[in-house]
Amino acid sequence: MSEPFAAVDVIMTKRDGGRLSEAQIDWVVDAYTRGVVAEEQMSALAMAIALNGMERPEIARWTAAMISTGERLSWDVLNRPTADKHSTGGVGDKVTLPLGPVVAACGAAVPHLSGRGLGHTGGTLDKLESISGWRASLSNADMLRVLQEVGAVVCAAGSGLVPADRRLYALRDVTGTVESIPLIASSIMSKKIAEGTSSLVLDVKVGSGAFMKDVDTARELARTMVELGTDAGVTTVALLTAMDRPLGRTVGNALEVREAVEVLSGGGPSDVVELTVRLAREMLEAAGVRAGPDPVEVLRNGRAMDVWRRMITAQGGDPRAPLPVAAHRDVVVATASGTVTALDALAVGTAAWRLGAGRARKEDAVSFGAGIELHAAPGDTVAAGQQLMTLHADDPVRFARAREALAGAMAFDTEHRVLPLVLEKVSA
């Protein structure tokens, strides 16, 4: 059977700044997924999109075409509304871990499909896999069972969900087209729409440790994704949140799980608690849940912790098992007294990655116990000789390169503008 379009014509349309038709978009996404459009042809089209952009109808159609290459889940049989959250990724961002149980304890169901980390940002699945026995792979039937029994689930996306994105994501990574907002937005939103949630809150990170370094580009991405969700019938809002410094006091897989459990126990760092509560309230509002308890209440009375334990147990994990601990530690101390005015998130994330907490390639293994504990944050006053960080690694050879990444990461007694934790809200 002959194809209705030639790939080169589609490429040339976008190369010359034209608008792709709905039929062109439907065909090229499907044909690429089927292997009819070659890798070098899709590379050329991705570069043309990166250079010339897409209009809102094009991005919406591209997203819909990506979804159409696979299955679309539905949770209509549940007796409560569904809500989910997506973060664009940051250093120390463990909020997904306490957030699902909090929202479930307040009355919404949370079907969260997640991924593993690449580079300096750790993935939620990597963190959860540090819990003994916990498994990321669930069938759709298992997901539904956990949602019905517990109210929240975190697992890996199955191979049937947006297969076009799996191919295109890998292609963008090696062709210099990762930064394209139409391609970022369609990648994220195709998976979240296909996931079947009825409402979605986006946490778009801004700062050195985030994908978006400045507020303007973060806002553009947020607006694009909110429009895509709204056009697809998913109630969608976005928060722009700070990632100029790490979130919380730990960076690394098991270290972050431990901190998340502290939050669920009614403690934990104030910034992690604040962001968890704010995102939970936004999720509940988007889902239309107004009669249930407040997130602060379920953290205080232990109901969120109960959901956490049941969620981990339902996926084969032991919530009471000891978490992995790295074999070696190295302490960074202050060489002089002063007030911490800045802590560069990217430097801390890079150091944690060098310690073994992250991966350079998808097939690499991570060290569950590796990472960094932060003993000081912007605004804290420290004395000479005081501990600033504890580095954790299974191989002590890693400490030297981690310390190289941290050189100059912490500033003292100089003027720095620290971003507010939540900068703004973007809604339809």
Per-residue pLDDT tens over the stretch 243-265: 999 999 999 999 999 999 999 99
Catalytic residue list contains 86: yes
Catalytic pick from 85, 86, 116, 392? 86
Q: Kindly indicate the confidence band of residue 275, based on its pLDDT and cuts at 50, 70 and 90.
A: very high
Residue 120 pLDDT: 63
In 215-369, which ranges are E strands? Answer: 235-242, 250-252, 328-333, 338-343
Catalytic pick from 94, 112, 120, 191? 191
Sequence spans of domains, the chain = 84-160+187-321, 328-412
CATH classification (class only), 328-412: alpha beta
pLDDT digits (tens, 9 = 90+) for 125-144: 999 999 999 999 999 999 99
Catalytic residue list contains 191: yes
Residue 415 pLDDT: 86
Catalytic pick from 172, 245, 278, 303? 172
The CATH number of the domain covering residues in 84-160+187-321:
3.40.1030.10
More confident residue, 70 or 415: 70
155 sits in which H/E element:
strand 152-156
* pLDDT over 70, % of the chain: 98
Residues 222 and 240: their CA atoms lie apart, in Å, by 8
**CA 40 to each of CA 53, 174, 396, 407: distance values in angstroms, whole numbers, following the listed order:** 19, 11, 42, 40
pTM, 2 dp? 0.95
pLDDT digits (tens, 9 = 90+) for 37-46: 999 999 999 9
Pairing of strands 387-393, 338-343: unpaired
Average pLDDT, the chain: 95
Q: Kindly indicate the confidence band of residue 370, based on its pLDDT and cuts at 50, 70 and 90.
A: very high
Cβ atoms of 88 and 269 closer than 8 Å = no
Please name the residues in contact with 108: beta carbons below 8 A apart, sequence gap of 6 or more: 80, 81, 82, 83, 151, 283, 284, 287, 289
Catalytic residue list contains 74: no
Residues 13 and 31: their CA atoms lie apart, in Å, by 17
pLDDT digits (tens, 9 = 90+) for 166-199: 899 888 878 888 889 999 999 999 999 999 999 9
Catalytic pick from 26, 84, 93, 165? 165
Catalytic residue list contains 416: no
Catalytic residue list contains 362: no
Catalytic pick from 87, 130, 187, 208? 187
In 72-118, which ranges are E strands? Answer: 84-87, 110-114
pLDDT digits (tens, 9 = 90+) for 313-338: 999 999 999 999 999 999 999 999 99
